[in-house]
Amino acid sequence: MGELLGVAVLGAGHMGADHVRRLDRVVSGARVAAVADPDTARAEEALGSVAGASVHADAPAALDAPGVDAVLVASPGPAHEEALLAAFARGLPVLCEKPMVPDSAGALRVVEAEARLGRRLAQIGFMRRYDAGYRQLKSLLDSGELGRALMLHCAHRNVSSPPHFTSAMLINSSVSHEIDAARWLLGQELTAVTVLRPAASAGAPEGLLDPQFVLFETERGALVDVEVFVNCGFGYQVRCEAVGERGSARIGDDHGMVVTRRGGAHEQVPQDYLVRFADAYDREVQAWVDATRSGRVTGPGAWDGYAASVVAEAGVRSLEHGGRVPVCLAPRPDLYAPAAA
């Protein structure tokens, strides 16, 4: 426990660079040991003044670098399966950003590979489980104070979408967070998805189906609706209201600074997910480092990543072909059996 955990960060883009900063300046008990990115100049830039870390053009070289004890995967989704399997082969604990693997077949391969090891090594980056508001809502629902949960009403809004964003990515990239949050908050698997398409916003790029309205059904009869709007133009907002038999609770209405002048008032709205969920990312990575240093995995795991991929695929099928699409999960390996109550 006295030694710092040496972490190899795979990917030096927006998310990866922020994790390098976080490991170096915010999180205790860890250090950046290596960074890998095909653009080594970008990796060097992400490191900045961080001392003692090596730079590599490919993931395997970073995993094999001296001083690497664990891996943080922040590369694009299609590279995640290879990175996870490489970490498993080396017995390295890994925190992998979502999506764990974009396609459910690849996600299932990761689950099966970890199950063959007989021990968990992977934590998946569903950071909303570490957000103060979400944790408070989870505690309230688990207490039974509101009675049985009947519905979740969710909103997920971004200022604008990046140039590469597709209509399917509203579900498998953006709504994937709501998929995991709903499963976690309710303690239930999602069993069916229906995606409705309002008229596209004038602010959306040509051809992008934005916004979308997504309806999930759960195994015990609850409903979850998500408004996803990735070109709202005004800010980054994530909200969730739980409706139970005996009451409701809402999170995400946190107010920023309000400036009053010239006969009016203006409230600041976060413009980026790294601002809105900064504390959640910090708590997530700190919890992962603490657990890893003590030989444990405590956060959302590979099964959660797999389930999210399956549900997202069903959502994309509903988006593209219309109608209600059932969710069909593979049998859950014993490694991921829910903890006894």
**pLDDT the model gives residue 263:** 74
Strand 30-36's sheet: what is its strand order?
54-56, 30-36, 5-10, 70-73, 94-97, 122-125
- Alpha carbon distance 106, 308 (integer Å): 12
Would the pLDDT of 1 be above 50? no
User: DSSP 3-state assignment of 37?
Assistant: coil
**pLDDT the model gives residue 340:** 44
Q: Encode pLDDT of 39-75 as tens digits.
A: 999 999 999 989 999 999 999 999 999 999 999 999 9
- Alpha carbon distance 238, 274 (integer Å): 12
Q: In CATH, what number does 5-127+279-301 get?
A: 3.40.50.720
Residue whose pair of structure tokens reads 């890998």 in the numeric block: 36
Q: Encode pLDDT of 114-151 as tens digits.
A: 999 999 999 999 999 999 999 999 999 999 999 999 99
User: DSSP 3-state assignment of 143?
Assistant: helix
Average pLDDT over residues 28-39: 98
**pLDDT the model gives residue 126:** 97
Which of these ranges, 17-21, 265-269, 332-336, has the smallest mean pLDDT?
265-269
Average pLDDT over residues 82-91: 98
Q: Encode pLDDT of 326-340 as tens digits.
A: 999 999 999 998 764
Q: What is the mean pLDDT of the chain?
A: 94
Would the pLDDT of 106 be above 60? yes
**pLDDT the model gives residue 253:** 85
Domain 129-273+306-336 has CATH 3.40.50.1220: no
**pLDDT the model gives residue 307:** 98
Q: Encode pLDDT of 182-230 as tens digits.
A: 999 999 999 999 999 999 999 999 999 999 999 999 999 999 999 999 9
In the chain, domain spans: 5-127+279-301, 129-273+306-336
pTM of the complete model: 0.93
**pLDDT the model gives residue 236:** 87
**pLDDT the model gives residue 266:** 67
Which of these ranges, 158-162, 241-245, 302-306, 335-339, has the smallest mean pLDDT?
335-339
Percent of the chain predicted with pLDDT > 70: 94
Beta bridge partners of 56: 36
Residue partners of 114: CB distance under 8 A and separation at least 6 = 88, 120, 121, 122, 302, 335
